Amino acid sequence: MEKTYMTRAIALGRDLMQITGCTPCELREAVPMLMPDYMSDGLDDVTIHLGGNDWRFIKEMAIDTILEGELMADPYFLGCFNAWFIADHSDLSVTIIKALQEGEKFEELGQHLIDTDCVESMAHGYACADGYGHHFASYDGETHVLSTESYYAFNCG
């Protein structure tokens, strides 16, 4: 038996209150953004202020693409990964990577990783090794999963 829209909205509200500590008034903004309806599938990536903090909600089906996009947008950050990790996901040796990092060529290293299409592999390895919370949850590094809708939730402080 399929749940009605209102039943699903109430369940999502309870889920959000449990994870974020938000108030019922704050739910009025959050529930329509996250819950699919007849007009939309819900937002893929949205930040909402709940329970005194900013919370980022990312759909499960979009999170890998979003992670990859954020890594590609920051070559410096890509060049800061551990040398062995970069070597595992690129055409460079640990020796070359360490030399570039010791020379503070982080941005150039990251740009090489982007140019040689290594970011998808790195994003997958990053998520497998550290989970998504390490990247998306700047406040506590935790990954929360909504039990009622297919979203990850991250406390961004």
pLDDT tens digits, one per residue of 40-74 = 667 899 999 999 999 999 999 999 999 999 999 99
Burial 41-62 (b: 16+ CB within 10 A, else e): ebbeeeebebeeeebbbbbeeb
- Stretch 111-119: mean pLDDT, rounded? 97
User: pTM for this structure?
Assistant: 0.86
Q: Which residue has the higher pLDDT, 147 or 98?
A: 98
**Looking at residue 41, what is its pLDDT?**
66
Which tokens in the block code for residue 60?
A: 């499960």
pLDDT at 149: 86
With a pLDDT cut of 70, the percent of the chain lying above it is 94
Asked if 150 contacts 60 with a C-beta cutoff of 8 angstroms, the reply is yes
Predicted pLDDT of residue 148: 87
* Mean pLDDT for the chain overall: 91
Q: Which of 68, 9, 66 is nearest to 42 (CA)?
A: 9
| Confidence band of 1 (pLDDT split at 50, 70, 90) | very low
Residue-level pLDDT at 5: 79
